[in-house]
Structure 1
Amino acid sequence: MFRSKVTLKLFLRFNTHYTGPDIMKSRHVFILISLLVIIDALAINSSFAFFYFSGFLKQTDIGGAAQFLVIINLSWLTGAIVNSTYTFKNVQKQQLLYRKVFLTFLMQVMLLSVVVNHLTPTVYITWRILLIFGVEIFVLVAIRLATHIFERYYVKMNLFKKNIAIIGQNDLGSRLEKFFLTNPLTVNFTGSYHYQRDQFANSAFDEASSRDSIKYAIVNHLDEVYITEFPEQDSALDEIVELADQHCVRVRFVTSFMNYQREQISLRMSNYKLKNYYDGIPILINRKEPLSRLRNRIVKRCFDIVFSLAVILFILSWLFPVLMILILIESRGNPIFKQLRSGRDNEPFYCFKFRSMRVNLNSDIKQAERNDPRVTKIGAFMRKTSIDELPQFFNVLFGDMSVVGPRPHMLKHTEEYRQVVDKYMVRQFLKPGITGQAQVNGFRGETKEHAQMIGRVKHDISYMENWTLIKDVQIIIKTVTNALGGEENAF
């Protein structure tokens, strides 16, 4: 028993995936940390600048102004690093938030005193400088107070937080529930459920009497579900995983630390991969998803913004008016066609294109076909060269799409395909793209055959599970090459 505890402590200390007992990373907490760093820096430097430029401070009080300003910032930065002021754990608890800012402030004053005395022995910490520090700590505390008020409001808002639930009312589920309840900034915990087979056996279940069931929760409002058993232990859990995939709900599997250590070798040979630790509890996933990591999402989003801005500024800026005129010459109607498509997590969004067809009533339900009479002459050229897709770079800039990803389908087609193609909705975990892995590998355009859609979905899932920025660049290059060489399925 003693050996097990020592092993656990050593593992948690040195394992880079472990996030600690009270930490749950999310982009919202990351944004909060970024804002605190920026606002604190502005507060510290503004306090100094105000007194200096107002003439309250004399040059003899501080020596060189630039030198003193650098020392102030470096001493604060050092204190913040030593005290872990801006970590995920410390910004989510109010007591730690105030305590860390006071400790960092005290270290800043101490370091500043030592450095100033060492570098400029003739300069002393005068009452004027102490007044600046007084204003600084007042502002820093006020920032924390405002943060506290905002957090209380934010906690009540569930709009931007993930709705999660636990399946499995046992000790492991209770520990995880306690952890989620201590992280209200990150998630909205909806409850723990006990799996009941009859909920799934009867597809026409009574909704009114089943609002407390996990089936109802998955279908209506969950983003993630944590299961404390594996389908290998209970094959009936496959139904939950399948239902979750159908409704864009991510599934996480939970096991104890000791079970994970004991079964680590066999787990490595399976589809289960370690994602994270919550309160020392291993959280496993059943498929790789590199873009679930915040760092990768930031990299991809930055690339999307830079690339889309480049296309808009250097290509669309002059091509846009030319194509608008050509479209209007041949047919009436708005030269920009917008249509509801299925986006990430199956959320609908308006997808933009240059209008390549005459205005018709079937545009939202019928795909373009070879020799489609609805397509205009300029439209045929745009579709052949994929120029009609260029307005979607505005979708990328707005955040609805990515440059590379699964192509967005019409809402009607999404509903049709999800019924007949296995794992079809898994592709909806990603932002849709202007181009994608499926498109550059021959799965583009009309999909009459069932096998074509299966192939497209396999490519989309493969892209999701093996994403890299280099892969995005390769797909973009291949897309341009295919467009210049002409594609058989481009019509």
Structure 2
Amino acid sequence: MKSRHVFILITLLVILDAFAINCSFAIVYFSGFFEVNHLSQPARFLITLNISYMIAALICRIYMFANVQNTELLYKKVMLTFVVQFFIFVLIAKQVLSGLSITLPLFYIFTSELLFFITIRLMIYISEKYYLKMDFFKKNIAIIGDHELGRRLEKFFLKNKLTVNFAGSFSDLNEVVMVDEKPVDNLRSSIKYAIENDLDEVYTTVFPKQSPALDQVLALAEQHCVRIRFVTSFIHYQRDQEAFSRANYRLSNYYDGIPILVNRKEPLTKLRNRIVKRCFDIVFSLAVILFVLSWLFPIIMILILIESRGNPIFSQLRSGRDNEPFYCFKFRSMRINADSNTQQATRNDPRVTKIGSFIRKSSIDELPQFFNVLFGQMSVVGPRPHMLKHTEEYRQIVDQYMVRQFLKPGITGQAQVNGFRGETKVPGQMEGRVKHDISYMENWNLLLDVKIIYKTITNALGGEDNAF
């Protein structure tokens, strides 16, 4: 199980360990323990030291995700890597460091290196004890179903404390309870528990054919931004792989050898894809801020202030990823009014100023959202964020509306470049927007983002009927 926080921890460990190795060499070298005739000799020593550690780290798999989330493993792996590095260094040194007296400097370097390694791991341990309390950085998950697979999965999650906050397991799914004189599947009650306790993911050993209410439960979960993951055995998956495919279940991952299936493809659940998209967002937003907003920002602000009083930057609470609200920035295109947080802009809207009309039609009003992108609240491409009021309204009447909230909102999106931009007068328009947003979520790749950005720019230059 991978998360960006563990990825950051691994990256930090790699950097600190590299610093420890080279700093140990520098301390010993400048302390005068080397007897050298030529500068190439200590250079060869340093290169050998680094290469031997890299080989040892690969052999011992010290930076694997599973090995950095457990304190005991953290120390065991570094000690094993240290020993392996020593023997590899000695083997290489016989070939490339002949004629150089290395016994004394080698002792001091490896002693210093070991002290550095232990200190770094101790710092990680202290940080981890604090980090484990920071539940808002981790996914809240639970398991539904009394099954051996569920118990195996529970052990796996308990080993990944830096990645997840395990809320517990729920069983007795085959029982039926009575609520308001109607039979209700306990699974629905468990999802209700998940919603009330802000769970992000629920893993279940139950499939729709075993639970008639599961389709309704899936819809209920998605409406509240709770992801459902289906747990099966490796043998079962291999035997019924075609049946799972027909039923629209897709293999998402293996946790401790257990296949985890999902009911829709989401490329951005993979860590490497999230890193690629985030790096693209940072580079692109910085380019726009430095090369466009740096000179355009003051011009637009002055023009807005000349025409109407008030803050030239309009910030509004909108629905973000997992339905978390955030302040979305725009150039103010309307006169100050009491309906700005509840009423969408309409064609020939009297609230829109003259400069506001221009910047809305040209999409310049959206440019401050590149700061939202830089802050990590938005992406360059994604579902457009809606006002909180509209999110609550449409989640009740548009099927799968909240599925779009699984992604970070975007400045532009697949729906917007395909004609679903601006005011939504009827639910059918929002349904079309949602279909495009879900299609984008299921088929994301970096090239798709580039195509949408290109189409956004060409549409803005050519003018759009729905931009008002």
Summarize the Cα distance change of 1:473–1:200 in structure 2 as closer, same or farther, 3 Å threshold: farther
Asked if 1:29 corresponds to 2:9, the answer is no
Q: 2:284 aligns with which of 298, 307, 317?
A: 307
Comparing 213-222 with 345-354, which one deviates more in the overlay? 213-222
The answer on 1:385 being equivalent to 2:362 is: yes
Shift of 1:136: 0.7
Unaligned runs of 5+ in 1: 1-23, 206-211
Determine if contact 2:24/2:109 at 8 Å carries over to the other structure: yes
* Aligned residue identity for 2:453: I
Give the direction of change, closer, same or farther, for the CA distance of 1:337–1:58 in structure 2 (3 Å limit). farther
Partner of 1:49: 26
Shift of 1:49: 1.7
How far apart, CA to CA, are the structure 2 residues paired with 1:329 and 1:360?
Answer: 18
Deviations, residues 418-476 of structure 1 (Å, cap 9, x unaligned):
00000000000000000000000000000001110000000000000000100000000
1:16 corresponding residue in structure 2: none
Q: Per-residue CA shift, 1:16-72, capped at 9, x if unaligned? A: xxxxxxxx2222222211111111001111111233234454435985333322211
Alignment pair present for 1:243 and 2:220: yes
The runs of 5 or more residues in structure 2 that have no matched partner are: none
What amino acid sits opposite 1:44 in the alignment?
I
Greater mean alpha carbon deviation, residues 480-489 or residues 140-149: 140-149
Shift, 1:200, TM fit: 7.7
| In structure 2, distance between residues paired with 1:151 and 1:451 | 49
The answer for the alignment partner of 1:477 in structure 2 is 454
Question: Match of 2:389?
Answer: 412
Cα shift readout 1:389-436 (whole Å, capped 9, x = no counterpart): 000000001100000000000000000000000000000000000000
Residue 270 of structure 1: which of 247, 250, 255 is its match?
247
Of residues 212-221 and 143-152 in structure 1, the stretch that sits farther from structure 2 once superposed is: 212-221
Instruction: Report the residue type matching 1:481 in the other structure.
Output: T
Displacement of 1:240: 1.9
Partner of 2:45: 68
CA 1:87–1:271 in structure 2 vs 1: closer, same or farther (change >3 Å)? same
2-side partners of 1:139 and 1:126: how far apart? 20
The alpha-carbon deviation at position 141 of structure 1 amounts to 1.4
Q: Secondary structure at the match of 2:160?
A: coil
Query: Does structure 1 residue 149 correspond to structure 2 residue 108?
Result: no
Q: Deviations over 1:300-346 (max 9, x none)?
A: 00100111111111110110011111000000011111010000000
Q: Hey, what does 1:109 align to over in structure 2?
A: 86
**1:213: how far off?**
4.7
Identity of aligned residues (%): 67
Partner of 1:254: 231
Written as runs of structure 1 = structure 2, the 5 A alignment for 1:25-424 is 25-60=2-37, 64-194=41-171, 195=173, 213-424=190-401
CA distance in 2, matches of 1:219, 1:452: 31
Distance 1:198 1:333, change over 3 A: farther
| CA–CA separation in structure 2 for the residues paired with 1:186 and 1:423 | 28
- In 1, Cα distance between equivalents of 2:87 and 2:258: 40
Once the two structures are overlaid, the 10-residue window that deviates more, 143-152 or 405-414, is: 143-152
Given residue 440 of structure 1, which amino acid in structure 2 is its aligned partner?
V
Q: Using the alignment, how far apart are the partners of 1:430 and 1:200 within structure 2? A: 34
Query: Are the structure 2 counterparts of residues 483 and 404 from structure 1 closer, same or farther at C-alpha, using a change threshold of 3 Å?
Result: same
> How far apart are the structure 1 equivalents of 2:106 and 2:170?
59
Whether the aligned pair in 1 keeps the contact of 2:36 and 2:100 (CA below 8 Å) is: no
Could you tell me whether the CA contact under 8 Å between 1:61 and 1:124 is conserved in 2?
no
Which one of 402, 408, 413 corresponds to residue 431 of structure 1? 408
- Partners of 1:297 and 1:323 lie apart in 2 by 33
Are 2:35 and 2:100, in contact at CA under 8 Å, matched by a contact in 1? no
Q: Secondary structure at the match of 1:190?
A: strand
Deviations along 1:232-253, one digit per CA (max 9) or x if unpaired, are: 2212122221111011011101
Q: For the structure 1 residues 281 and 448, does the alpha-carbon distance in structure 2 shift closer, same or farther, using more than 3 Å as the test?
A: same
* In structure 2, C-alpha distance between the alignment counterparts of 1:171 and 1:308, rounded to whole Å: 48
- The amino acid that maps onto 1:65 is P
Instruction: Answer whether contact 2:318 2:325 (CA < 8 A) is retained.
Output: yes
| Worse-matched range after superposition: 304-313 or 157-166 | 157-166
Supply the AA of the counterpart residue of 1:390: L
Matched, 1:463 2:440: yes
Q: Which range moved further: 52-61 or 107-116?
A: 52-61
Which segment drifts farther, 218-227 or 369-378? 218-227
Q: TM-score, normalised by structure 1?
A: 0.90
